[in-house]
Structures are given as structure tokens and as C-alpha cells.
Structure 1
């Protein structure tokens, strides 16, 4: 399969940074090993470090050794690499880049990947435009930008105004690597390839939905950036978790085309009920892990949250009245991403007092580390007595020995193919900001410090208040024996 075998040049700004060296270059190497890159594809790294082509190739080789068993393809990949040193604020750098593209543009098809700080997006775009590198006179030019797409709704709108001075919307690829995970994409398959779920996938049968992303590490040396960028709500909920919500709640698209898929996601995001400031105490929780204030780079007295939980409603016919609970946090008990769908109880219980009959059915979808789908149902306990218990129907999504592609592999290949289905459209970005902006604005005006929680816990006990119902608790695991856990 060589559907990505299109002649082009891949230009990576910030090529010596963490994202490029740990994600982008390894992903491109994997595509090379799988025969997904045309023979003449060139990869240009751009950065301030004074590498030559030879020293850059040696640097990348050292990082990639051992990534693929045998490394039989490593020499061929290294030969694709070139390097251009310079400052992104220097007009001469863009002139030199223009010359390089003219010599190595691979039929004038060029991808510019901005693996740099978001505050440089506009400057780099202007620099490229000033030397004519964004004009599609022959071939195509595409730009990939990483989240965050703005700091809030006004800044996202300002960024778009700047980009659209030089780029058409179809040239912009707003990448959210979380959506590129195979387990996240599997949500679409579960929804629309299995007729057994569709009759139940609505307000008549679903009690509530939980979406969790937890990390065991703290800010892990990124305290200064994290504190500046605005915390858990901006970092995870505005992008990743709202994307998962949209995939779970969307209507069937008319086709698998990019615009059809994104149309349905936008409809969901626009249907989310705004959180009123008067409801903030019961619909949103923010907290910091103990010790965050002492992290190097954190502003004294910072209110930046490392934990956020949110209750949302999708006001449409399918989901009216069904709460969606989103939470994310750092320094928590386990590293885990999962979706927990709780179904309503049977209208009449025939086995009251005989075991697990009062427990609801759950559909559990593991995103990481488990890539699995589990259904919790009630069954009879073996023996003469009529006793029931909760059991789990477990299906692992991947088979032993199957290689799981990293999210960036598929996303980088999609850019080559021009497939924008897994990338965010501008109206999708603004709709997501409109969901979280009122909460963040209210928090910014709140003089009370965030709640505290100990490292290694499941966050503040007060996070349970978003349920507004003592019978609902957070699911921490795919394991059935944690069905009624909820301990902080």
C-alpha cells in the first residue's frame, strides 16, 4: 500500500525541539520503512542550532537507532535529510529557504510543519508569504500547525485572520494528535459499523457519559510553559476531550469525506449548552496538585489548574438531558484515557436483593494504555440459588503481535494525501472555545485559589459534585471490581 507515495518536500520548523525529535522524525522514519514516502521526498529541518547537513544527519541517526528492528532502512532515510540553520525573524532565512525549495521542491509540492511556539505562527506565515512560498502556482503548499489554536476565542479569531491573509482554509492542517490515535478513531467504527449499538445510543437508554484523561506525572519540567499556557482546561478539555465527546455524540455522516465528518462534529459542539456562571460551582471544578506552587517556573500565587472537571449537556434530540462528564488531571493515580457509558437501569427489577441486579450496564472504551472495549452486564452466579453478579465481556481491539501505528504516522501521511478528515476546521475550533471560554473567564475573576489534591490520588473529592447525584461516581478503571469506586 503506497497511497502516500507523492513527491513532495517536508519542511519542519523547530526541527531540534522535543516534538520533532521524539514524534515527527520517528513517524516519518516509520512511513519510510513502510514504503509510504516517494523515493524523491526530501525532509528539511529548520532551526537555530548551527548544524550542517552532515552533523544533523548524525544527530538524527543517533536518535533513531533501534526504533525499527534491524534498522535496515535507516541509511536510506538519513539520505533524505537536510538542514537549514537560521532565525525565524530573519528575512534572509526565508530567502535561503526559497532557494532550497526551488532546488528540492519535489514537483513544487511542499508541506511546512510549524513545530514551534504558537506565538511564532503568524511570523513564520508572514515570512513564507513574503518570499512567495505559500503560492500554489504549480503543485500544492500545505501548512501544519499544532494546538493550541489561540489562547481563547478572541485570540483564535485573531490567529485565523492572520493566517487567511496568505492561506486558503484547505491549505491549513490544524493537528490534534489525540484524534489520530487508533483507539480514538475506533469510536467512529464502534458507532457506525455496529447496528447493535445504534438503537441504544440516545437519551432513552443512556444515563450519562464519562470521558477521562489522567496522567501520573506532574508538569514534568514544563512548569513555565504550562503555567503560561493556562492549565488543564485549555491543554486537554478544549481540544482533546471535546473531540472525543463530538465523536461519541455525532450523527452518522453522509460519507467518510473530511467535510462530511467535520460537519457532524461541528453540529455537536455548537449544540453544547453554555455553562452559566451561576452554575459554575456545580458544573465545574478546578484544582492543583500539592507542590505545584513550588515547581520551578510557576508564578507565585498561580491559579493555573492541573485538574479540571466539567459537566456538559448536548441540547439536541438524541442527547437532551444526558450529562457528559469530562475530567483531566496531572499527578493522578494512574495514566489512563477512557470513555465510560452508563446505561439506564431496567424499568422493572425482577431480581431485587439477589446480587448485582441494581448495578447498571456499562460500555467501557479504553483509549490508553488499554486499547479495549468492555461491556458490563448482569449474569447468574453458578449454583442452585438464583443469585446474580456483574460480569465483563472483554474484547481487545488489537491482536498479539500487531503493530500499533503512532498517531503522528497516520496524521503526517494524511497531510501528504491531502486528507483533512482528522484535522480541525476553523469553525470546529471556535465552537470548542465557545464551550470553555465562559468557564475560564469566570475562573480568571475568581480570587479563591484552586482546590488542592495530593499527588498520586484521583484528584479532589469535591470533583464528585459535578454529578449532582450521590449515586453517580467517577469510573477510574476498565476493571469491573471498580464499578462503584470513587475514592479520591
Structure 2
């Protein structure tokens, strides 16, 4: 890998503090940052280099997996410099260009990380281009953009049109940190490196698929952003639809970025659109009220700081989707996400169909439970296969048993998704970054729902904090015997 200059706009903010600086430090620990790589932290605050070092030390000390290693931090600190500037002031950009021109120690390859408000993406890129900071004469230029990419389909298209005036598609790295999680990558390996389940991975054997991301946290300090976004935009349009593509995609021709992303786009484009008169039949939204989580009383969403008292923003969203292609025709995919729920959990649950013939009609086995494959994303990385077995003894009693593979061996610590993604930017590997047609196709899935919800401003259903969400969302399921899969532990007995 060639060295590069990482320029972090918004380096004094929360994203840099919680994710970016610790991730870059851990790359330093692993010896993965190319020799000569530099990091320019840019922000409006009047920090000196010494102040940046102090702040970086505090950021990393709070997040370092094995504590702060002084020798490693000394190497990392030597890469850091600080550039004070206000992105809204035009004079900042020629000053940044002059910094590059006058300091030969900064590598010509430059990655600009936009840890800033989405509303500023277009303006900042335009200014970078105006002052030749996107000129690739002496090395590559790449721009990393955090989600959300647009507020809806129309705004996403407008942003794309603006960016394409100054950048090529291969220069844009639309980051979705969810795709960097190790277990999400394991979904690809599970699908395409094992032939055991591939013959069953279709409409003939799979009854339905559930994808759940639940959090027991509230909106916290993100209310200003969250109230304008809601659960559908914040999680389903990006993270959960990406998981769906990995579960449902056809084997790509290779694991090269474009081949992989082509297959993901095909899945998104095959999702049956939801007409406005079917929105209530295929989606459900709700908002958390007060409750108890881990024994502590929690506030309702409307009582959170900076939340408008009449807000009808959803903190829970669920939807039923169909993929109209040969493999998945007729198989429902159920997606749900929510805040202030019972547990922190991200899991893909695949439910298989019942056997075509019931051999034990006169025995205790009249209600056979289905087989499941469970792919745990967080907080635990695992693969579980649930099967029915006979209990020891004379009578025909059964129980569920689990073939359980913990995907993190021994004491190997989990890496943060940003570590892989920041390194992939240096490599130029876009496999886990979103291409614009992926973004556009995902917006086309949720846009009809958001338009209907936007007209319903008088009322929103609620659910108590600490629960698994509103019971009424069960109506999305096609049969009475189907329900949300909450527990990852199998029932013990039939």
C-alpha cells in the first residue's frame, strides 16, 4: 500500500472522538498504516498541536482495547497535525492547499473524510475542487462520505448530481460502518464458501427471513438528527437493506468490488415496490414511551432533550418485503429496528419450511417446530443451526438443539468496523462501500412508505421502553403461527 494523507473534516466532533481516532490508532497498533502516512485533523476550534495530542490521547485511552501503549502512541502522534479552519469560510480552502504545497512530508495521495453535517457534503466538495484539492496530478484523491446520503430519493439524486460535477464514482467512498462488522463479512463466507446449505437457500425450503436490529439505548444526544430522520431512514434504508442483499444475493462472478456490488444492486432492484394503499399492510411504525430497562426507569421519546413535544417520529419501524426473482419469489423478508427495546441485538434469522409430510400424527410431535439458521451480528458474533432431536427415554418427546459456532475464537478481541473501512480507503477497495445505484435502489424501496407516513402527523402508536416493540406489528406476518424471533435460545421441549 502507498502512504496517504488522511484529512478529517470535523475532527473535533463525536465521530472522530469515538470512532475515527481510535480506529486509526488500532491500525497503528497492528502495523497496518503505510510508512509515511499522515493524519491532518481539521476543525473550527483553536487547538494547538499540543492540544490535539492531548485530546487524541484522551480519545484513544477511552477506546483502546488493550490500554494505551505509549510506544505505539508516540509513533501515532508523530503522524498527527492540526489545521484550524471553518468549512463555511472560503478562505479555508486556499490555506489548506498552501499547506500541502509548502510541506513535502504530506503524501500526494489524499483521503478527505467528511465527519460533518450531510448538508455540507456538496459545498465542501465544490470548494475542494475549486482550489485544486481534488486534482490527481500527484496522487489519488478520495472522499469518504458518512450516511445519510440524502434525506429521500430526490435529495439523494440531487446530491449525486452535484458530487459528479467534481468527482468520479470511483473516488466516492460512501461509508456504511455496518458493512465493516466482521460478522457481516462472515455472511458472505457462510453463503459462498459452504455448499451444505446452498441447495436449500431458496423459496422451496425457506419459509421466511427476519432481520432485526434492536437497541436498548434511546436517542441520547442525537435527537436533533434523529427527529428529522427516524428509524426507517436511520437503520432500514441503509443497514438492514444491506444485510438483506447479502443474505439474498446470487453468487458473484468474483469477490471483486464491482462484481459483489452488481449482485447486491440486482437484489434491491428486484424488491417489489409498495404501493401507497399497501403501506399500512406491509409496514408498522411506533414510538417509545417511558419504561424500565435493566431495572432503571427511562424517559419517553417525547421527554428526551431537544425532541419537539408533538413529534410523531418513529423510533420503531418494521416492514415486510418480497423479492421478485427466481430464487426468492413468494418468500417474505421481515425487517425491524427500534430504540429502547429489551436488548441490544442484531441478528439474521432464517426460518425453514416444515416437512411436507407429518410422520408422527399420533405421537407427541404433532406440532413440529421449524428449523432455523441464526446469524448473530452483534453483540455476539455467532452462527447457530437449530434442529429437532428426540429426548432420551421410552416416549417420543423432542426438544430443540443447537449447533453453535462462536465466530470469535478464544480471547481474540473484536475489531471495530471503522478499522477495516479506513484501511480499505487506502487500498482503494470499495467492496464494502455503497455505489450510488445501491443507494438509489434502497431509497426507492422506502420512499413510498415515507411519503405516506409524512402525511400522518396527528398520531403514532407507542410501545413501552424495555419491551420488544409494539405487539401490533405482528400483523405483518402472513400466518398466525409466525412471530418475531426475539430470543436467540431455542425452546427446550415440544
TM-score normalised to structure 1 length: 0.96
State how far apart, in whole Å, the 1-side matches of 2:267 and 2:99 are. Answer: 44
Is the 2:372–2:386 Cα contact (8 Å) retained in structure 1? yes
Secondary structure at the counterpart of residue 221 of structure 1: helix
Deviations 1:405-426 (A, max 9, x none): 1100000000000000000000
User: In 1, distance between residues paired with 2:492 and 2:97?
Assistant: 58
How well do the aligned residues superpose, as a CA RMSD in angstroms?
Answer: 1.5
**1:367 equivalenced with 2:377 (yes/no):** yes
The 5 Å alignment of 1:136-175 reads: 136-175=136-175
Q: Equivalents in 1 of 2:230, 2:492: separation in Å?
A: 29
Gaps of 5+ in 2: 290-299
| TM-score under structure 2 length normalisation | 0.95
Match of residue 125 from structure 2: 125
| Equivalent-residue separation in structure 2 for 1:220 and 1:453 (angstroms) | 18
| Map of 1:433 onto structure 2 | 443
- 1:41 and 1:80 in contact (8 A); partners too: yes
Q: Deviations over 1:110-149 (max 9, x none)?
A: 0000000100101111111111000111210000000000
Q: 1:115 to 1:447 in 2, by over 3 A?
A: closer
CA 456–472 in structure 1, closer or farther in 2 if over 3 Å, else same: same
Deviations 1:325-347 (A, max 9, x none): 00000010001000110000001
Per-residue CA shift, 1:72-112, capped at 9, x if unaligned? 30111011110011110112211111122222564410000
CA 1:112–1:104: 2 relative to 1, 3 Å: farther
Q: Report the counterpart of residue 324 of structure 1 in structure 2.
A: 333
CA contact under 8 A between 2:316 and 2:469: conserved in structure 1? Answer: yes
Aligned partners of 1:175 and 1:424 also within 8 Å: yes
Q: Pairwise mapping of residues 99-118 of structure 1 onto structure 2 (< 5 A)?
A: 99-102=98-101, 103-104=103-104, 106-118=106-118
Counterpart in the other structure of 1:232: 231
Secondary structure at the residue paired with 1:204? coil
Residues 51-83 of structure 1: per-residue CA shift (max 9 Å, x gap): 011211121112223714460301110111100
**Other structure's SS at 2:91 match:** helix
Q: Which segment is superposed worse, 367-376 or 433-442?
A: 367-376
1:248 corresponding residue in structure 2: 247
Cα distance in 1 for residues equivalent to 2:305 and 2:451: 26
Alignment of 1:26 with 2:22, yes or no, is yes
- In structure 2, the partner of 1:380 is 390
- Deviates further, 316-325 or 403-412: 403-412
Q: Could you tell me which residue of structure 1 aligns to residue 297 of structure 2?
A: none
Aligned equivalent of 1:75: 74
The answer for the alignment partner of 2:34 in structure 1 is: 38
Identify which range, 137-146 or 273-282, moves more after superposition. 273-282
CA contact (8 A) 1:356 1:390 kept: no
Residue aligned with 1:469, SS:
coil
Query: Kindly tell me: are residues 140 and 356 of structure 1, through their superposed partners in 2, closer, same or farther at Cα, counting changes over 3 Å?
Result: farther
Task: Tell me which moved more, 60-69 or 30-39.
Answer: 60-69
Higher mean C-alpha deviation, range 141-150 or range 34-43: 34-43
Q: 3-state SS of the aligned residue for 2:220?
A: coil
Gaps of 5+ in 1: none
In the alignment, what sits opposite 2:83?
84
TM-fit CA distance, 1:481? 2.8
Deviates more, 1:70-79 or 1:81-90: 70-79
Q: How many residues align?
A: 479
